[in-house]
Amino acid sequence: MGWNWETAQELWPLLMEGLRILLLVTLISSLIALALGLVVALTDRSAPRAVTMPLFAVMEFIRNTPVLVQAVFVWTAVTMWLGTAASPMWTGAIVLGVHYASYTAEAYRAGIDGIPKGQWEAITALSLPKPRAWIAVLLPQALRRSTPALGNYVIALFKEVPILSAIGVTEMVRQVDGYAGLNYTGALEGFTIAGLIFLVVSYPVALLMRKLEKRLAN
């Protein structure tokens, strides 16, 4: 049961296909998380309590239940509703995106809260209209502050994609599982290489974020 290079070689194309799906899901989910989180953070700041209270409750609910449960639940519900199997990749990507939006919303909120009071006062003193103030003054400053946290959430999201193998998303872990299930071998090689690939992709991004964080701290 030692390491087998032949098995590793056989697994390689499967892993690459898995990586492609993994990156695709990460991309879709991240875009959803980044966009929706911003919408939530801005709504939270400007909408009446009748809107923000339920929104807060939904976000708390999403944050405090596992992605796995959310993904299986949504996939099952959508499948029942459609009467035919929902696309695992799209369902998974959307669930993961919405889940992380509940975190990115907090990152955005912290970025907005960090804007000095004087900036708001200057906006008032210059009579800048609200939409213009957000676009030209507040968001650029808030995004700068939020970027390191947002980057870290994208990395975390990337590492959580394998959870979606539970609903049949054929990312790397699912591919190795499938191969090992058919051939009664390859788990060692497959998971080792998959782990290394995760490291190779996420570590540079993590380093970049740390550098960014340091630069912003100065």
Please report, as ranges, the residues that interact with another protein according to CB under 8 A: 116, 118-119, 121-122, 124-129, 132, 136-137, 140-141, 144
The residue among 122 and 199 lying less far from another protein, judged by its C-beta, is 122
Q: Please name which of 18, 8, 89, 105 lies closest in space to residue 56, comparing C-alpha atoms.
A: 105
Residues 6+ apart with CB under 8 A from 212: 147, 148, 151
Shortest distance, CB of residue 126 to another protein, whole angstroms? 4
**CA geometry: angle at 114 spanning 108 and 115, to 5°?**
105
Which burial class, exposed, middle or buried, applies to 60 when counting CB atoms under 10 A from its CB (0-12, 13-18, 19+)?
exposed
The residue among 31 and 122 lying less far from another protein, judged by its C-beta, is 122
Shortest distance, CB of residue 119 to another protein, whole angstroms? 6
Structure tokens at 127: 């009579």
Structure tokens at 73: 């639940």
d(CA 22, CA 14): 12
Shortest distance, CB of residue 111 to another protein, whole angstroms? 13
The residue among 66 and 114 lying less far from another protein, judged by its C-beta, is 114
Shortest distance, CB of residue 143 to another protein, whole angstroms? 9
Are residues 17 and 170 in contact, defined by beta-carbon separation less than 8 angstroms? yes
The residue among 83 and 129 lying less far from another protein, judged by its C-beta, is 129
The residue among 102 and 146 lying less far from another protein, judged by its C-beta, is 146
The residue among 51 and 122 lying less far from another protein, judged by its C-beta, is 122
d(CA 101, CA 84): 28
The residue among 27 and 216 lying less far from another protein, judged by its C-beta, is 216
Shortest distance, CB of residue 134 to another protein, whole angstroms? 12
Q: Position 202: which residue type?
A: S
Shortest distance, CB of residue 150 to another protein, whole angstroms? 17
Where are the alpha helices (H) located in the chain, listed in sequence order? 5-46, 49-63, 67-82, 88-113, 117-125, 130-133, 139-160, 172-183, 187-217
DSSP classification of residue 171: S
Shortest distance, CB of residue 207 to another protein, whole angstroms? 25
